[in-house]
Structure 1
Amino acid sequence: MTEIKIDSNTTNQYRNRELSWLQFNARVLQEAADTSVPLIERLRFLGIFSNNLDEFFKVRYATVKRIADAGKGGKSVLGGITAKDLLEEITQTVIHQQSTSLRILKSIKGELQKENIFVIDETEVSETQSQFISEYFIRKVSPALVTIMIGELEQFPSLKDSAAYLAVRMVMSKEDETFEEKNNYALIEIPKVIERFVVLPQEGDKQYIIILDDLIRYCLHNIFSIFKYSSISAHMIKITRDAELDIDSDLSRSFIDKISKSVKNRSVGDPVRFVYDKKIDRKTLKYLLDKMGVDETDSLIPGGRYHNRRDYMGFPSLGREDLLYEKITPLRIPDLKLQGSLFEMIAQKDFLLYAPYQTFSYVVKFLREAALDPKVRAIKITIYRLAQVSHIASSLINAAKNGKEVTVQIELQARFDEEANISYAEQMQSEGVQLIFGVSGLKVHCKACYIERIENEKLKRYVFVSTGNFNESTARLYTDYTLFTSNQKICKEINKVFDFFEVNYKIKKYKHLIVSPHYTRNALYHLIDTEIENKKNGNSSGIKLKLNSLSDFKIIDKLYQASRAGVEIKLIVRGICCLIPGVKGMSETIEVISIVDKFLEHPRLFIFENAGDTKIYISSADFMGRNLDSRVEISCPIYDEAIKKEILDTFEISWSDNVKARVISDKQDNAYRKNRKEKVRSQFKLYEYYQQKLNA
């Protein structure tokens, strides 16, 4: 196999996973820089970029750091780069991206001023605003503040993961004999219970916002009035901790209790990143680093004046609809009415929902109908991430109250949603819902619901299976397919998956579904091998995949093998892509694009040409080791010919994108795909496609 040069002076045929992810986040940053994106939306993309980075350090950077701390090189699992070198490269890449994000933020603020929107700091407060701020501080902020006088403590306090702090330095006056040291230090935790952006009274046509950090800076004299100091300064710091859960083995405690305790312990996990205002006084910085025990393997990121820029995701709209994306009204599915019985309609044929272009209300309506329908006997569902206020959960509780057998497989270890899932689990359990907490050693990531109904004294089964979570909130922002079917062969096999949750020492066999962890990897190998054989035999061949991530080296090798055989491969990969396309003798028939736009691209879709008898699967599984080998995932075949055509149409619309598609190449420069064809912005085109289907 041909080897090629990639980053970090390593010779390899894979892109490193972490560096590829940082390239994805750079695409998010491109959206913040794109002047064609509405102005407030650009700020929100900055927030998404920052939030992504926080999670990356908590999980991926922390994992690499553990490899480095263990004294291991890690080359075989890290794509040919040592853990130590990778940590350094990540830090340098992030410093560059953070610098870029600050320049973008400065530019956006300049554009906001042209729109008469001013984000001011504590030095720009007018007399009128001063009175409002003082009252606001006393009434709302002061009661919520936690201020720690660290200069007086023998032991430095444990800083909360990802909380933002103002590090305050007071240069004490000579007449103040309270302190031996000339400098006294304090930490102010920025309260999360108060909106980060405080909207000030409008003055004429001008709208003003002050960030909570600056409002606190303006009121420092109020907080520290009992001290005599000649000068006072406050600079932002933030620490990010390892988010790996450490679950104890105490057999006497329930699984909910164990996860709950582990989530609480996460707040004191090992530090992996320290971000600070680059204008902070050197003495203050050294004092903090020494006290916290931050060492050379932690990532030190000099940043701007403000941290936790993820809060820009919630930047206020200020009534300026012209500075936001135009809201779309999710459409109905042709022939599937929200009035009447969905069971009766789904009994006749399969239906496909593609959110957010079409309304997620069908999922909620189906569960509500099942909760009330006297013919429904049992409901089984997998839950990974629920909305904050979940109609899904309330429908399941309603069903249990109506005497249905309701079984919920809830994943308590859904990263960063553990607390919400624990809360819902306890609530459902108290209402009579039977809970299953998965399989030891496996996360349950599949998205499926199985319903049993008695019709004409016979058992009839219904399912819906999805590429995304059963979550009303994300269904407005994430693109995902959901199939509704009463195909009894598929329904019976979905029920087998639920049987596996309860009796997991018995491995089931499937003729239709592809199920992880036992079958997906080999099934994919077989499907790819079939395309290789078809190409060799002169039959039609081709592979089209839509994924969030592609990082499994063995699957990549198999795709390289198909490429060398001449199979044309089209990949739409939103995030991580460790495969390097377009390399002569290795991957020259493989093209990869990534689409980052208004909605988060989330479906997993597998299309195999299969000598003209196209095989199509929608799936919960990405092509990552964890999805193939250590999670429960479902890939569901599409048998309905009309739905097959619909899926192929939607893939082609996405593939034709030449506005928001970036070309993934060995250059890793996130170049926008440019051609002379008619402009296609796929997410907008898909909405038009479904409008036309509805009108037809």
Structure 2
Amino acid sequence: MSKQKLPLINREISWLYFNERVLQEAADKSVPLIERLRFLAIFSSNLDEFYRVRVPTLGRLANINTKAKELLGYNPKKTLKTIREIVVKLERKFDDLYENEIIRELATEKIFIINEHQLNVKRGEFLRWYFREKLLSTLVPLMLSDDKPFPELKDRAIYFFVRLSNKEKFRYSLMEIPLDSLERFIVLPETNDLRFIILLDDIIRYCLEEIYFIFDYPRLEAYSIQLTRDAELELDRSVSEKFIETLTKSLQKRKKGKPQRLLYDNAMPEDMVAYLVEKLNLGNDSLIPGNRYHNFKDFIDFPNVGRRELEYERPPALRVQNLDLSKSIFSQIARRDYLINLPYQSFDYIIHFLREAAIDPKVTEISITLYRLAQNSRIINALINAVKNGKKVNCLVELKARFDEQNNIYWTNRLEEEGVAVNYGILDYKVHSKICLITRMEKGKPVYYANLATGNYNEKTAKIYGDHSIFTTHKGITKELKKLFRGLEKKIFFNDYKYLIVSPLETRRKVYAMIDTEIRNQKEGKPAGIILKMNSLADEEMIEKIYEAGAGGVNIQMIVRGMCCLVPGIPGLSDTIKVISIVDKYLEHARVWIFTNGGEEKIFLSSADFMTRNLDRRVEVGFPVLDPLVKQEIRDIISIQLQDNTKAREITRHTHNRYKKAGRGKKYRAQIDIYTYLKNKQFN
């Protein structure tokens, strides 16, 4: 099947439909009110990243439109137009949700987000004091004129575009809102059991005349704008001791990337919009009208000043059955494998694993890959303690982890200062695997203890990301991990792994082979079937292979949270393929591959999605689930997710994001049901 004829949903369009599912959570009245506000924040943050990364790539392709159409099989210029139409439609839904639903429902809870026009004398006096004490010294207005260059606007910073006017003339000014150093939300003194919250933006609006008092303009108007820039990095092709310096310079360039989107207050007069378009050299496709508040991602931290029920209940992390944190974790995992299901069970098991390794006299070496780290990382602290206790610690920190580069540079420097052997990865290949191997001398011989995971060694995201993490001492797996770490140290790739499935050399070939087995078994009348769970499905060759299985009659069930370019339900090609997407209070992040294999089921967990970058341009590790108890637990959890008819959406060729409904049958909500399942197991 040629690329041109391969039925596909455009990946950018598919991603926008995923973000619409996030917006659906904000619209769902069964979701607690403050959480609905936070889903709006996630939607906004997602869209910012989309315009920083995906849209710039399409823009570059559009510049070579004829060749790009031949190469890609679609028209980049047309796609950019479609993107804008979808985004404008979604932004309107966003504004309507915020202004006409959530604000009003907050009011019924006696919580009021007020602006500068809704202040009584007492609150006004409080805010003028707050402005003079906390804000005024941080504000630097820039007066604009045609004889001076237009200021360089920072990526994603919020500015007020201000017009000062009288009956005869006017002037323009720009002023950055200092969100990095101050709280966005200010809780005002309570009155008669009513809670009032005002945004920093509106305090500045209220006190504009105190900023521009030296100018003789009686009328002041301030409208918020936000510019999103191209955030792709251009790195040197050489690896040297100056790599971190090179990356740091590239991060500085990111702040001044090409403008991609101007989000502006739709109340701004047209002549002011036209002025900005001219000065920023923007096309109409780059203009996105919005509401008066930008950087809505800050609403993820919106304070709950009302009832506890306005937020999701955060149930306590569960114990893992028969895995006792008060005993040596090594002695327990020496007997059998253990599975940690995050965030339902505690990330402390992973921390305990590393802490014990740091102080155990028998441990000689720790090797680990790190992709995204928490701001106050206990993982890093455990590794540093291990070095201080005389252990050899080999740490691969992926400096090219998008938008975490600066944080990872900081941790790299910290680790090196403490004596950790830090590896920066492999040029052109991000190390995205999540693996740890500990060497322990027992009776004079090295014994290896491993942790392999689908998600990052990050205790913050472990509280909100759904992932799986396995402890094992399986000799075949640990031997191959040793080989993999040796290759990473030498910056070379090995292949011919028996147990592991490792990108970039083997994942595609091995997954294809397992799909071929299912096709053959289906043809021969043997048990056949495939279940795949991942974040994204976009690689065209992998989709073509899955279509081949679908055309061969293999029953395929998929759980794809984000973009899915495969089109289910095409007669004779994909009518045996069913795809759902679960968007709920936790981010579904695990990658699980299940192959029926003639009745002897194979289950793999992986760090890799089915995207070209994960298969061909990253170091990823898929690993088999071999312990029968762990295998059954994974299977049970996936079965629970496939039953979801509350938060699951059906992915179809019509891209309607329709909820999978229970009808008159029993309601299943996977994330609640998984917690109950694991809770019932912990003491059995």
Q: Could you state the TM-score of these two structures normalised by the residue count of structure 2?
A: 0.97
| Equivalent in the alignment of 2:199 | 211
Give the distance between the partners of 2:458 and 2:536, measured in 1 at CA: 21
Structural mapping, 1:6-21, within 5 Å: 13-21=7-15
Q: Which letter does structure 1 place at the counterpart of 2:236? A: D
Q: Does 1:68 align with 2:62?
A: yes
User: 2:502·2:621 contact (CA, 8 Å) conserved in 1?
Assistant: yes
Partner residue of 1:93 out of 66, 86, 92: 86
Deviates more, 1:42-51 or 1:432-441: 432-441
Give the distance between the partners of 1:477 and 1:673, measured in 2 at CA: 23
| Equivalent in the alignment of 1:27 | 21
User: 1:550·1:624 contact (CA, 8 Å) conserved in 2?
Assistant: yes
Q: Which letter does structure 1 place at the counterpart of 2:86? A: T
Q: Which letter does structure 1 place at the counterpart of 2:57? A: T
The 1:120–1:73 alpha-carbon spacing in structure 2 relative to 1, beyond 3 Å, is farther
Deviates more, 1:33-42 or 1:132-141: 132-141
Q: Does 1:369 align with 2:362?
A: no
| Equivalent in the alignment of 2:668 | 680
1:453-503 deviations in Å (ceiling 9; x for gaps): 001111000110000000000000000000000111101111211111122
Give the distance between the partners of 1:230 and 1:674, measured in 2 at CA: 58
| Equivalent in the alignment of 1:197 | 185
Q: Which letter does structure 2 place at the counterpart of 1:88? A: K
Q: Cα distance, 1:76 vs. partner? A: 6.0
Give the distance between the partners of 1:253 and 1:335, measured in 2 at CA: 47
Give the distance between the partners of 1:117 and 1:153, measured in 2 at CA: 47
Give the distance between the partners of 2:674 and 2:240, measured in 1 at CA: 53
Q: Which letter does structure 2 place at the counterpart of 1:367? A: L
| Equivalent in the alignment of 2:629 | 642
Give the distance between the partners of 1:191 and 1:72, measured in 2 at CA: 44
1:426-477 deviations in Å (ceiling 9; x for gaps): 0011100011111111000000001100011110001100000000000000
Q: Does 1:450 align with 2:443?
A: no
State the secondary structure of the residue aligned to 2:385: helix
User: 1:2·1:585 contact (CA, 8 Å) conserved in 2?
Assistant: no
Structural mapping, 1:112-261, within 5 Å: 112-151=106-145, 154-172=148-166, 182-192=169-179, 193-248=181-236, 254-261=242-249
The 1:527–1:61 alpha-carbon spacing in structure 2 relative to 1, beyond 3 Å, is same
Q: Cα distance, 1:308 vs. partner? A: 1.1
State the secondary structure of the residue aligned to 1:364: helix
Give the distance between the partners of 1:460 and 1:251, measured in 2 at CA: 34
Q: Cα distance, 1:22 vs. partner? A: 0.2
Give the distance between the partners of 2:295 and 2:5, measured in 1 at CA: 37
| Equivalent in the alignment of 2:470 | 483
Q: Which letter does structure 1 place at the counterpart of 2:136? A: S
Partner residue of 1:549 out of 536, 539, 546: 536
Give the distance between the partners of 2:7 and 2:193, measured in 1 at CA: 57
Q: Does 1:393 align with 2:380?
A: yes
Q: Which letter does structure 1 place at the counterpart of 2:383? A: L
The runs of 5 or more residues in structure 1 that have no matched partner are: 4-9, 175-181
Give the distance between the partners of 2:5 and 2:105, measured in 1 at CA: 44
User: 1:73·1:84 contact (CA, 8 Å) conserved in 2?
Assistant: no
Aligned length: 681
Give the distance between the partners of 1:153 and 1:427, measured in 2 at CA: 47
Give the distance between the partners of 1:130 and 1:11, measured in 2 at CA: 64
Give the distance between the partners of 1:578 and 1:75, measured in 2 at CA: 18
1:581-634 deviations in Å (ceiling 9; x for gaps): 011011000000000001000000000000011010000000000000000000
Give the distance between the partners of 2:465 and 2:369, measured in 1 at CA: 19
Give the distance between the partners of 2:5 and 2:97, measured in 1 at CA: 34
User: 1:173·1:230 contact (CA, 8 Å) conserved in 2?
Assistant: no
Deviates more, 1:635-644 or 1:670-679: 670-679
Structural mapping, 1:593-608, within 5 Å: 593-608=580-595
Q: Cα distance, 1:248 vs. partner? A: 3.1
State the secondary structure of the residue aligned to 2:145: helix
Q: Cα distance, 1:257 vs. partner? A: 1.1
The 1:250–1:348 alpha-carbon spacing in structure 2 relative to 1, beyond 3 Å, is closer
1:87-141 deviations in Å (ceiling 9; x for gaps): 1110110000000000000110000000000001111111111011011111111
Q: Cα distance, 1:34 vs. partner? A: 0.4
| Equivalent in the alignment of 2:545 | 558
| Equivalent in the alignment of 1:104 | 97
Deviates more, 1:212-221 or 1:246-255: 246-255
Q: Cα distance, 1:148 vs. partner? A: 1.4
Structural mapping, 1:578-597, within 5 Å: 578-597=565-584
Q: Which letter does structure 2 place at the counterpart of 1:414? A: A
Partner residue of 1:286 out of 274, 277, 281: 274
Give the distance between the partners of 2:514 and 2:237, measured in 1 at CA: 40
User: 1:2·1:586 contact (CA, 8 Å) conserved in 2?
Assistant: no
1:356-384 deviations in Å (ceiling 9; x for gaps): 01001000011011011111000000000
User: 2:484·2:494 contact (CA, 8 Å) conserved in 1?
Assistant: no
Q: Cα distance, 1:349 vs. partner? A: 0.4
Give the distance between the partners of 1:74 and 1:588, measured in 2 at CA: 31
Give the distance between the partners of 1:279 and 1:319, measured in 2 at CA: 31
The 1:228–1:152 alpha-carbon spacing in structure 2 relative to 1, beyond 3 Å, is farther
Q: Which letter does structure 1 place at the counterpart of 2:640? A: I
Alignment root-mean-square deviation, CA: 1.5
Q: Does 1:384 align with 2:384?
A: no
1:247-287 deviations in Å (ceiling 9; x for gaps): 13577752111111111110000111111111112221111
The 1:278–1:426 alpha-carbon spacing in structure 2 relative to 1, beyond 3 Å, is same
The runs of 5 or more residues in structure 2 that have no matched partner are: none
State the secondary structure of the residue aligned to 1:122: coil
| Equivalent in the alignment of 1:690 | 678
Give the distance between the partners of 2:238 and 2:489, measured in 1 at CA: 21
Give the distance between the partners of 2:434 and 2:19, measured in 1 at CA: 26
User: 1:663·1:671 contact (CA, 8 Å) conserved in 2?
Assistant: yes
The 1:345–1:77 alpha-carbon spacing in structure 2 relative to 1, beyond 3 Å, is farther
Q: Which letter does structure 1 place at the counterpart of 2:680? A: Q
The 1:370–1:518 alpha-carbon spacing in structure 2 relative to 1, beyond 3 Å, is same
User: 1:73·1:83 contact (CA, 8 Å) conserved in 2?
Assistant: no
Q: Cα distance, 1:72 vs. partner? A: 4.5
Give the distance between the partners of 1:613 and 1:638, measured in 2 at CA: 13
Q: Cα distance, 1:81 vs. partner? A: 2.5
Identity %: 47
1:288-319 deviations in Å (ceiling 9; x for gaps): 111112235x5211111111111111111225
1:537-593 deviations in Å (ceiling 9; x for gaps): 111000001010000111111111101111000000000000000110110000000
Partner residue of 1:502 out of 475, 489, 498: 489
User: 1:58·1:241 contact (CA, 8 Å) conserved in 2?
Assistant: yes
Q: Cα distance, 1:143 vs. partner? A: 2.0
The 1:40–1:76 alpha-carbon spacing in structure 2 relative to 1, beyond 3 Å, is farther
Q: Cα distance, 1:320 vs. partner? A: 2.8
User: 1:500·1:508 contact (CA, 8 Å) conserved in 2?
Assistant: no
1:333-368 deviations in Å (ceiling 9; x for gaps): 011111111000010100000000100100001101
Q: Cα distance, 1:504 vs. partner? A: 2.9
Q: Which letter does structure 2 place at the counterpart of 1:511? A: K
Q: Could you state the TM-score of these two structures normalised by the residue count of structure 1?
A: 0.96
Give the distance between the partners of 2:32 and 2:433, measured in 1 at CA: 35
Structural mapping, 1:48-63, within 5 Å: 48-63=42-57
The 1:590–1:439 alpha-carbon spacing in structure 2 relative to 1, beyond 3 Å, is same
Q: Does 1:421 align with 2:408?
A: yes
| Equivalent in the alignment of 1:178 | none
The 1:157–1:595 alpha-carbon spacing in structure 2 relative to 1, beyond 3 Å, is same
